[in-house]
Structure 1
Amino acid sequence: NMIPRGVRPAYISFINKIREFYGDTILQTTVGYQDAVASRSTMSGKLLYNSKTGVGEDYRNLVDELIKEFD
């Protein structure tokens, strides 16, 4: 799930409804979305990723969850 970073009640509600519907078949980790990074990535045609940002931490958490899921 790519959602805008920060506390956003509408998005949290949306994610909770998805979890209710799909149950344990989806991962718990969400990956935040930052417009500026996405725009630069699109304009340059390259994946721009800074591992020291909040989004970078989200991806590390996702990888950790995947490792636990498939270990």
Structure 2
Amino acid sequence: MNNQIYLIALLLSAVWMIEILKASNFEKAFKQNKVWQIKSFYVVIALVGAHLIASFIERVFELFQLN
């Protein structure tokens, strides 16, 4: 069950973070016409942030799990 919670939270938070990064104008920090660098930056940052959020959500669910 914990793996399912982690995976769902990871996917949802990664999509959410990519949308936030797209709206944040980080493109100005990169050279023009370097699309693959910008997209790879978004993916790496989104996955790191999504992992942190998913781990937090998983631990919260573990706290309230009845055994």
Return the index of the structure with the highest Cα Rg: 2
Q: TM-score, normalised by structure 1?
A: 0.29
Greater RCO, CA 8 A, separation 6+: 2
Structure number having the greater helix percentage: 2
Structure number having the greater strand percentage: 1
